[in-house]
């Protein structure tokens, strides 16, 4: 199989970088890089007919749109094709038909992050690296350690010492070299960058390594297939660093480039009011005090109980803000109390038990609708992390 990746382009200054660029961020301005594909070559086999006939029931059915050549390097655990459930209870609550939940709590390490880690691990193996690392609020690290375990790749993880116990246990049990950082996620992030530079580790940091977005976009391909090869009208996404939402955008962007969808869905960013850097930035653009062509992403002091989305300075903020504003979506904020209550409501009404960040998009969709907002339907809310990762949160609601 050929690798159809042709280059990387900076989200900020549009500088082009070669496909074999060995940095992570734009060499001119330090912005995030976006992978570019030869869509003409991809279109030869990425067709509805081929997908309908393909019996590969994992994300590897989308290999033409992943940035590696050798499919033999992908981790052996079952990846992707998670359920999309219609939720009639929410439909009644908000008086809107066609509300769906994408259940990513059941991926191998029990969070959405496996979509990124599996693809980035295949890239790392193809590059011939000997050790990989990442900083994480917990889930990205667990996922990276999980993929490392299944591929025999040594993994170092930098995690805030305050991460939930279950996530630390997951890191340990997968055999990672766990570095507990006395500080915030942003501190762990900076330390990981420094250590990777010093020791030559391959760094999976979210919103830094341009390949994570390329893995995360598989959720959009799945949703498109599950809707009968159509895009939904909207997607609600929990946002911390902004890399998941950027991945959702990228997946639908790829489909649009291939002529497989006409319109992008409206992409909604949902954040905690206690970690709302993206929502604040969007609000400054909506109010005209910053322009979408040239804006600075806000920094906040994140205190949310939803640890996975507690981020001071979103590292994929520029593309996250663009994903929302260029698709006609909005930013929605929910309180920690609303998030914690939603854990109970979602589990008891659907059987899906999710962690705080995992229910945030559902809470946001409901809040937006109940406040009089029109939810473009069909709508999908991403449920991104398993409730067993943070059982203490249940008792705090
Ligand atoms: C369960 C869960 N939901 C949402 C997010 C937010 O993703 P991002 O930081 O890319 O915005 C994360 C990130 O750690 C997560 O683990
Ligand atoms: Zn740049």
pLDDT single digits (tens) 164-199:
889 999 999 999 999 999 998 889 999 999 999 999
Using a 6 Å cutoff on CB, does residue 32 contact ligand 1?
no
Using a 6 Å cutoff on CB, does residue 65 contact ligand 1?
no
Residue 284 has pLDDT above 80, yes or no: yes
Residue 261 preceded by cis peptide, ω within 30: no
From CA 357, how far away is CA 354, in angstroms rounded?
8
CA contacts within 13 A on the Cβ side of 240:
25
Which residues lie below 8 Å from residue 137, measured CB to CB, with a gap of 6+? 159, 160, 163, 185, 240, 307, 308, 309, 310, 311
Confidence of residue 397 (pLDDT cuts 50, 70, 90): confident
Confidence of residue 2 (pLDDT cuts 50, 70, 90): confident
Q: Which CATH architecture has domain 84-111+212-396?
A: 3-Layer(aba) Sandwich (3.40)
Q: Say which residue the tokens 């993206």 belong to.
A: 278
- Sorted by where each begins, the domain ranges of the chain are 84-111+212-396, 112-209
Mean pLDDT of the chain: 96
From CA 211, how far away is CA 20, in angstroms rounded?
12
pLDDT digits (tens, 9 = 90+) for 190-248: 999 999 999 999 999 999 999 999 999 999 999 999 999 999 999 999 999 999 999 99
The ligand minimizing its distance to the Cα of 15 is 2
Predicted local confidence at residue 65, as pLDDT: 98
- Among the listed residues 157, 81, 78, the one whose alpha carbon sits nearest the alpha carbon of residue 118: 78
What is the secondary structure of 131-156 as a DSSP string? -EEEE-SSHHHHHHHHHHHHHT--EE
From CA 20, how far away is CA 179, in angstroms rounded?
30
Mutate to test the pocket of ligand 1, among 241, 267, 388 (most ligand atoms within 8 A of CB): 241
Eight-class DSSP state of 122: H
From CA 199, how far away is CA 266, in angstroms rounded?
42
Residue nearest to atom 10 of ligand 1 (CA): 243
Using a 6 Å cutoff on CB, does residue 329 contact ligand 1?
no
Averaged pLDDT, 6-33: 97
Q: Determine phi and psi for 2, rounding to 5 degrees.
A: -85, 155
Q: 112-209: which CATH topology?
A: Rossmann fold (3.40.50)
From CA 177, how far away is CA 170, in angstroms rounded?
12
Q: Determine phi and psi for 325, rounding to 5 degrees.
A: -75, -30
From CA 309, how far away is CA 322, in angstroms rounded?
19
């Amino acid at each position: 199989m050929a690798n159809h990746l042709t280059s990387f382009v900076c989200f900020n200054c549009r500088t082009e970088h070669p496909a074999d660029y060995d940095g992570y961020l734009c060499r001119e301005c330090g912005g995030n890089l976006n992978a570019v594909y030869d869509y003409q070559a991809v279109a030869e086999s990425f067709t509805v007919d081929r997908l309908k006939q393909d019996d590969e029931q994992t994300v590897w059915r989308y290999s033409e749109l992943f940035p590696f050549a050798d499919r033999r390097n992908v981790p052996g655990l079952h990846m992707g094709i998670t359920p999309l459930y219609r939720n009639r209870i929410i439909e009644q609550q908000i008086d809107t038909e066609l509300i769906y939940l994408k259940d990513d709590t059941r991926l191998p390490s029990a969070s959405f992050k496996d979509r990124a880690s599996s693809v980035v691990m295949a890239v790392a193996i193809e590059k011939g690296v000997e050790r990989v690392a990442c900083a994480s609020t917990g889930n990205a690290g667990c996922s990276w350690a999980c993929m490392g375990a299944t591929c025999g790749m040594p993994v170092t993880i930098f995690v805030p010492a305050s991460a939930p116990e279950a996530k630390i246990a997951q890191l340990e049990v997968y055999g990672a070299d766990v570095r507990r950082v006395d500080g915030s996620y942003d501190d762990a992030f900076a330390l990981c960058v420094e250590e990777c530079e010093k020791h030559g580790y391959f760094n999976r940091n979210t919103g830094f390594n341009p390949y994570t977005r390329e893995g995360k976009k598989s959720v959009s391909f799945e949703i498109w297939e599950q809707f009968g090869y159509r895009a939904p009208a909207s997607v609600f996404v929990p946002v911390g660093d902004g890399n998941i939402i950027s991945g959702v955008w990228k997946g639908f962007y790829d489909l649009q480039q291939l002529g497989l969808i006409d319109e992008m869905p409206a992409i909604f960013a949902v954040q905690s009011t206690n970690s709302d850097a993206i929502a604040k930035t969007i609000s400054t653009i909506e109010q005209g005090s910053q322009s979408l062509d040239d804006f600075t992403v806000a920094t906040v002091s994140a205190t949310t109980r939803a640890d996975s989305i507690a981020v001071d300075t979103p590292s994929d903020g520029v593309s996250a803000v663009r994903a929302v504003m260029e698709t006609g979506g909005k930013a929605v904020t929910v309180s920690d109390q609303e998030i914690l209550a939603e854990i109970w409501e979602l589990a008891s009404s659907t059987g899906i038990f999710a962690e705080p960040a995992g229910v945030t998009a559902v809470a946001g969709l409901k809040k937006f609708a109940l406040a009089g907002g029109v939810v473009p339907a069909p709508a999908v809310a991403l449920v991104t992390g398993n409730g067993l990762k943070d059982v203490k949160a249940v008792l705090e609601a």
